[in-house]
Structure 1
Amino acid sequence: MLTAAGAAGIAAVASLIGVTLGALLEPLKLNAARRAKLRQDRADRCAGLIEAATRARKHIIDINVVHRRRTLGKERETDAQREVEFEDGYYTARTEIRAFYGLLVMSGPDELVEQANLLRKKEMELHRTRWELDADEKFDREFLPAPVRQASAAFDRAIEEFALVARKHTS
């Protein structure tokens, strides 16, 4: 049978093995935690960029509608204040886009940065169409002018493509 000294020896060896394994596994656990934190930070930045881009798109479309109403329609006084609010919202969203883009440039990866840069370019293309008027010079329909519609669709596609690349690098 086991003596007290034998049981104590087995317990000491088991304890030593446990401590040794713990010391060997600790760097692996820390590295896994660091990678998980990096992925979460990247996911938060990507989500922020997508949300800011979506808000920017909405405000650009709203600015275009107000501008067309004021230029081609009869509503001239009430829309000026709304246009200022939409512009403030747009420039706030645009500032957020630049901030999230900078954070992505800092942390990478390059494929994600390239998609974010493409997203910013499409946002600028849509921004350039904010003063477009209807081809028939009448504001009597619910449709956006063709250049605004095309730029908006391209921007939407850029948001979707960015989201796909982001999913690949954050999951």
Structure 2
Amino acid sequence: MLTAVGAAVIAAVASLVGVTLGALLEPWKLNAARRAKLRQDRADRCAGFIEAAVRARQHNIDLNVIHRRREIGELPEEDDERTAGYEDSYYVARAQMRSFFGLLVMSGPDELVEQARVVRQRDFELHVVRLEVDDGGGFDRMNLPPVVRKAAGAVDRAIEEFALVARKHTA
């Protein structure tokens, strides 16, 4: 009988200690879960922003190639449907960049927001020069005009720098 009572007392004390520790640790567990969710949301936003920026860059390059081919008469003027498709795709990617940028502004940190702002600026600079043609009026599919190549490189570097900052704030 004493053994049964002793075992019951030990079980009750252990249960009480377990419940007390669980209650004390619950806020820490909830806080850790909240921080993990915030990091995951930030990582998803950064990934979406990078994907949209890369698509926007590619559509600007495609628009440049089409424009240069049209300038030398390699493409008929009636091929406007393809150009319109690339332009629409560019503006969709640009709108996605704006959406993700807004979400990043809302959630921070400021260093990440500033780097995203740089990516958007570099994308705009590429968009401004997307209709530049080759020197001498020729068409070289393998090489972009120097001003376009420089702007595209700046976009690439800005995306890489954004990704480095994003990794720091999402790991």
Q: What TM-score range do you get, normalising by the shorter chain?
A: over 0.9
% identical aligned pairs: 69
- Check conservation: 1:69, 1:75, Cα contact below 8 A: yes
SS at match of 2:135: coil
SS at match of 2:137: coil
Give the structure 1 partner of residue 129 of structure 2. Answer: 129
- Which one-letter code corresponds to 2:69 in the other structure? R
When residues 22 and 77 of structure 1 are mapped into structure 2, their CA distance, relative to the original with a 3 A threshold, is same
Give the structure 2 partner of residue 51 of structure 1. Answer: 51
Output one character per residue of 1:46-70: Cα deviation in whole Å (capped at 9) or x when no partner.
Answer: 0000000000000000001111111
TM-score normalised by structure 2 residue count: 0.95
- Check conservation: 1:66, 1:79, Cα contact below 8 A: no
Shift of 1:130: 0.9
TM-score normalised by structure 1 residue count: 0.95
Output one character per residue of 1:8-46: Cα deviation in whole Å (capped at 9) or x when no partner.
Answer: 111111110000001011111111110000000000000
When residues 131 and 155 of structure 1 are mapped into structure 2, their CA distance, relative to the original with a 3 A threshold, is same
Distance 1:140 1:35 in 2: 51
Give the structure 1 partner of residue 96 of structure 2. Answer: 96
RMSD of aligned alpha carbons: 1.4
More moved, 68-77 vs 150-159: 68-77
- Check conservation: 1:69, 1:76, Cα contact below 8 A: no
Output one character per residue of 1:93-135: Cα deviation in whole Å (capped at 9) or x when no partner.
Answer: 0000000000000000011001000111100110101111111
Distance 1:63 1:12 in 2: 74
Gaps of 5+ in 1: none
